Amino acid sequence: MKRRASDNDGVIIQLRGVKRIYQVGVDQIHALDGVDLEIRENEYIAVMGHSGSGKSTLMNVLGCLDRPTEGSYKFGGDDVTEMEDSELAGIRNERIGFVFQSFELLPQMNAIKNVEIPLLYSRSGWLGRAAKAKKSLQRVGLADRMTHRPNQLSGGEKQRVAIARALVCEPDVLLADEPTGNLDSKTTKSIMELFDQLHQQGQTIIIVTHEEDVARHARRIIRMVDGRIYSDMSIEQDRAANSSSSAKSKEI
């Protein structure tokens, strides 16, 4: 039985004063410059902002692919900033699913083998790996493409395989960094319908996007500027705020 990630208030993720500073030669780049954030179970969040505003840096920190330079990060009440690398790898593998713009599938492996990869590193994964991978592929609507390799799949199908791989360990949080960035508008719509479905099934989802239409699927929109959260609102509040200042909203 998997441990519940959230505390009693349903909070899964809590960031306090998080900074990520890159040192490049003599320059310091404040990619995250003091981020406070709470994310609860079954939230559906879109993160928006200009190129370079820190969205991917935030996702990498949330996904435990990177550590904050300063501040605290609690995942399910546990302080991630204090953890050993191996403990962090465990969280990354079993409790967080990550989807990337460029799919990141292994070209020589078919869909089932790609989806099995996280199970190779997971304690719970040894039993019935192929069965779990198949179930995950069915969940994303790819029952009839299981033995196809990535070059035998369309862009949308590749992203579905990547989503199945992200879901196979039943993560507490699904993170997606511009998952529709390489897809045409029709395929984008079908991938977003899949995210909507997963949210309805209880999945917590955080998605980075440049497209307002994509962000409108979420229930909460976080807008970033220069490594900080500029606004953090429900979809309804965000829509009202941006319809009264539509020129400004287009910039952020």
Ligand X SMILES: Nc1ncnc2c1ncn2[C@@H]1O[C@H](COP(=O)(O)OP(=O)(O)OP(=O)(O)O)[C@@H](O)[C@H]1O
User: By the criterion CB under 6 A, which residues form the site for ligand X?
Assistant: 22, 24, 29, 31, 49, 51-57
Nearer to ligand X, 22 or 121 (CB): 22
CA distance 132 to 134: 5
The least distance separating ligand X from the CB of residue 139, rounded to whole angstroms, comes to 28
User: Which DSSP category does 151 fall into?
Assistant: G
Give the contacts of 210 (CB within 8 A, at least 6 positions apart). Answer: 48, 178, 181
Tell which positions 46-65 bind Mg ion, by CB under 5 A. Answer: 56
Q: Which is nearer to ligand X, 55 or 74 (CB)?
A: 55
Nearer to ligand X by Cβ, of 42 and 69: the residue is 69
Query: Could you tell me which residues come within 8 angstroms of residue 94 by beta carbon, excluding any fewer than 6 positions away?
Result: 122, 123, 124, 169, 171
Closest to Mg ion by CB, 6 vs 180, is: 180
**Closest residue to Mg ion using C-beta atoms:** 56
Of 56 and 242, the one with the shorter C-beta distance to Mg ion is 56
Q: How many CB atoms lie within 10 A of CB 82?
A: 11
Strand ranges inside the chain, DSSP E: 11-24, 27-40, 44-49, 70-75, 78-79, 96-100, 173-177, 204-208, 220-225, 228-234
3-state secondary structure of 216: coil
101 binds Mg ion (CB under 5 A): no
- Least separation in angstroms between residue 213's CB and ligand X is 17
Which partner from the list ligand X, Mg ion, none does 125 bind, CB cut-off 5 to 8 Å by kind? none
Closest to 170 measured CA to CA, from 210, 123, 236, 238: 123
CB of 99 to ligand X, least distance (A): 14
Q: Which does 203 bind (CB under 5 to 8 A by kind): ligand X, Mg ion, none?
A: none
Q: How far apart are CA 131 and CA 112, in angstroms?
A: 9
Could you tell which of ligand X, Mg ion, none binds residue 29, using a CB distance below 5 to 8 A set by kind?
ligand X
Task: Tell me if 233 sits within 8 A of 219, measured CB to CB.
Answer: no
Closest CB 131 distance from ligand X, rounded Å: 36
Total chain residues near Mg ion (CB under 5 A): 1
State the amino acid at position 17 in one-letter form.
G
C-beta closer to ligand X: residue 47 or 164:
47
Q: Which residues bind Mg ion (CB under 5 A)?
A: 56
